Homo-oligomer: A and B are copies of this chain.
Amino acid sequence: MTDYNKILESAGLRPTDAREAVLGALYRIGRPASHGEVAEALKGQLDRVTIYRNLYLLEEARLAHKVQGVDGKWRFCAHDPDVVGCPGDHPHFLCLSCGKMICLLGQTLPHVDVPDGVKVQGKQLVVYGLCPECSRDRQK
Binding site for B on A (CB under 8 A): 68, 70, 72, 91, 93, 96, 102, 104, 107, 109-110, 112-132, 135-136
Residue pair B117, A128 in contact (C-beta under 8 Å): no
Count copies of this chain in the complex: 2
Residue pair A115, B132 in contact (C-beta under 8 Å): yes
Residue pair A128, B121 in contact (C-beta under 8 Å): yes
A124→B70 CA distance, assembly (Å): 9
How far apart are A52's CB and chain B's nearest CB, in angstroms?
A: 14
| Chain B residue with the shortest CB-CB distance to A117 | B132
Residue pair B117, A113 in contact (C-beta under 8 Å): no
How far apart are A115's CB and chain B's nearest CB, in angstroms?
A: 7
Residues of B near A122 (CB, < 8 A) are 70, 127-129
A12→B104 CA distance, assembly (Å): 38
Would you list the 5 A-B pairs with minimal beta carbon distance, nearest first? A117-B132, A121-B129, A72-B72, A123-B127, A119-B130
Residue pair B135, A118 in contact (C-beta under 8 Å): yes
| Chain B residue with the shortest CB-CB distance to A121 | B129
Residues of B near A119 (CB, < 8 A) are 129-130, 135
